Structure 1
Amino acid sequence: MSSPTTAREYAYTETGSFNNLVIREVPVPTPKANEVLVKTRAVSLQFRDLMVSSGSYPAQLPPNLVPCSDMAGEIVAVGEDVKGWKAGDRICANFMIDKIHNDFMSMEVANSALGGAIHGVLTEYRCFPAHSLVAIPSHLSYEEASTLPCAALTAYNALMSGYEPLKAGDVVLVQGTGGVSIFALQFAVASGATVIALSSSDEKLQTATKFGAKHVINYTTTPNWDQEVLKLTGGKGVDRVIEVVGNATLERSISAVKIDGCIDIIGLLGGVGAEVPPVDIIRASIFKGLKIRGIFVGSVIQFGKMNKLLAANPEATRPLIDKVFEFENAKEAFAHLASQKHVGKVVIKVN
């Protein structure tokens, strides 16, 4: 597949709003010896992308940032030193292009995060280092595969890595029905675990039930949802909590988790400046023996292992896409994500 000499991409003239995005024409890059040139086919959006657009994301952004971190595409050219990849291969790039292994993440690796510290993927063509790539499972479309690098891999990292991998019979509390939460629900069900799902919408909870949640709780009509979780578990609490909100719900998550349970802290949906809850986290952690772990996406190695799980359970783990937007309508996609009306993932198709 030959590539043109110029391509379109989105960039921020300034942050403050996704409405500041502009389309510009740029030369198609030439891959270095260890790189591949990829034609972007689809990009999925994260809550992080809204934080970046507003200027609230805690990272030093390059000028005229090209946004977004999650993509799926087709290799169109390879550098002379690249082994194992060829034109026509379907790939995703890892969220942090230099996080290959599961070991401690250095600042250098953290600063390789797409769409933040470095330019992202909302572009028709981009070069990636060959070591950052994983093959797309054959049963997934480009749109489905674009949801994997952040949402799916974060959920996989939370449940399958860390202190103790998820096992059949565990009880998992999942907050919300966004991308990470739906993938966590799917992975837990595929692994034989029981899921309790939270949402403020009965309609969204119906979707969670469809995807295998055994119990659902509307936290608007049941604000003391932690007490309901304890009732559902016979007073024991859940084995682990997928905590995507942050400070605003951490107190109830600590209440809802069992002794020696695990809280995987993933998101900041409650806001960066949300007030710290009036709970003694240290005391609770000691006396309940809690394992509290921060999750920041995952590695290329984990990505490959996750794709084996997807391939082994193709229907149970198929990504849930709420809506697909055309490349020219990217701002509308951002607006739809910001409305929080979605269930699952919001995707931009790149023609």
Structure 2
Amino acid sequence: MTNAIRIKLPASLDSLTPATVEPRAPRRNEVLVRVRASSLNYHDYAVVIGALKPAEGRIPMSDGAGDVVAVGDEVTLFKVGDKVLSTFYPTWLDGEPELNGFASVPGDGIDGYAREFATVAETALTKMPANYGYDEAATLSCAGVTAWRALVVNGGLKAGDTVLVQGTGGVSIFALQLAKLAGATVIATSSSDEKLERLRKLGADHLINYKSVPEWGAAAAKFCDRGGVDHVVEIGGAGTMPQSIRAIRAGGHIALIGVLAGREGVIPTSELMRKQGRMIGLTVGSRRHQLDLIRAIEVNGLRPVIDSSFPLLALGDAFRHQASGQHFGKICVAVSDAA
């Protein structure tokens, strides 16, 4: 029997309950993974507070990194001892997105990685990047792949582009890092001058405090020779979308990723049309996207920015830290180290 965390209904941070789970032996094409680390995403937070209506007893957390400790018959991708990383959509391997919502997502539609052992299909995993620790790898499945798909896959990011990122969460920092590695200029926004200075040290070229500069979209556009930015990594949603539209150049690209500033609101669609901008909604990516990101990491040496790590049995405290907005980068969970 092993340590795990389950959600008791009604879901809340106080309903996260320690539990014991019997590891299941892998069947054909499955592997048993000892989970070493996970990391927090906004999606996980929405699950554990009940916004996404989890099932009774659901084990949360979409991200998981660990070791293969057993393999079932006909497994060809991994062997015992391999260091592996979960995928956000275990059944979306390549090609066009699936339209099954979060039904197959660990920690939401199925049990996730807030447990010491997980038995999953071999295709629900990739290898970890070489020379990565478990906590570093656990930051990639959701936040890293989202930033990669937003800028590289959908945006066609290239040297000389200008990228606008919002805030200091995992996706935004990964986007900043990927943009700089590609030779792009980065404009970063935050409500904290202290955090803006940390973004500068990560390579941000221009900084905007959106509290002191409410019209930050127009301010961002003034930094650009082409009348606006090439890409916006939009994590706010309806509340920030008007400024993002103002920020883009003619033909610019907005990657709509989050809803932190509202799910609904007034959007200046006529301005988007006038600029002939592209707005592409996305949720994470496929196994192929994760494989491509990992290959790039192994070439360029990108390292995730990790704010802090909590033991599994303090998962509620980890989410409270996330909700406080004080973090900078990813918050991790040491799963197997829980007592």
Length-normalised TM-score, structure 1: 0.93
Is the Cα–Cα contact under 8 Å of residues 48 and 54 in structure 2 kept in the other structure? no
Aligned equivalents of 1:134, 1:244: Cα separation in 2: 26
- In the alignment, structure 1 residue 42 sits paired with structure 2 residue 32: no
Matches within 5 A, 1:238-277: 238-272=229-263, 275-277=264-266
Q: CA deviation at 1:14?
A: 1.2
1:96 to 83, 89, 97: 89
Is the Cα–Cα contact under 8 Å of residues 260 and 289 in structure 1 kept in the other structure? yes
Aligned equivalents of 1:9, 1:90: Cα separation in 2: 20
Q: CA deviation at 1:234?
A: 4.4
Aligned equivalents of 1:106, 1:225: Cα separation in 2: 34
Is the Cα–Cα contact under 8 Å of residues 102 and 298 in structure 1 kept in the other structure? no
- The share of aligned pairs that are identical, in percent, is 38
Could you say which residue in structure 1 is the equivalent of 2:76? 83
- In the alignment, structure 1 residue 307 sits paired with structure 2 residue 291: no
In the superposition, relative to structure 1, how do residues 62 and 260 fare at CA in structure 2: closer, same or farther (>3 Å)? Answer: same
Q: Secondary structure at the match of 1:75?
A: strand
Q: CA deviation at 1:192?
A: 0.5
Q: Which moved more, 1:146-155 or 1:320-329?
A: 320-329
Aligned equivalents of 1:134, 1:26: Cα separation in 2: 24
Could you say which residue in structure 1 is the equivalent of 2:62? 69
Is the Cα–Cα contact under 8 Å of residues 66 and 121 in structure 1 kept in the other structure? yes
Could you say which residue in structure 2 is the equivalent of 1:145? 137
Q: Secondary structure at the match of 2:165?
A: strand
Unaligned 5+ runs, structure 2 = none
Number of equivalenced pairs: 336
Q: Secondary structure at the match of 2:318?
A: helix
Length-normalised TM-score, structure 2: 0.96
For each residue in 1:55-97, what CA deviation from the matched residue of structure 2 results, as whole angstroms up to 9, or x when unmatched? Answer: 212xx63321111101111000001111121111000010111
Q: Secondary structure at the match of 2:258?
A: coil
For each residue in 1:199-233, what CA deviation from the matched residue of structure 2 results, as whole angstroms up to 9, or x when unmatched? Answer: 00111111111111100111111111112112211
For each residue in 1:79-135, what CA deviation from the matched residue of structure 2 results, as whole angstroms up to 9, or x when unmatched? Answer: 11111211110000101111100313132x742111111111100000110011111
Unaligned 5+ runs, structure 1 = 1-5
Alignment root-mean-square deviation, CA: 1.3
Could you say which residue in structure 2 is the equivalent of 1:325? 310
Could you say which residue in structure 2 is the equivalent of 1:194? 185
Q: Secondary structure at the match of 1:332?
A: helix
Could you say which residue in structure 2 is the equivalent of 1:342? 327
One-letter identity of the residue aligned with 2:116? E
Aligned equivalents of 2:320, 2:102: Cα separation in 1: 27
Could you say which residue in structure 2 is the equivalent of 1:3? none
Q: Secondary structure at the match of 1:303?
A: helix
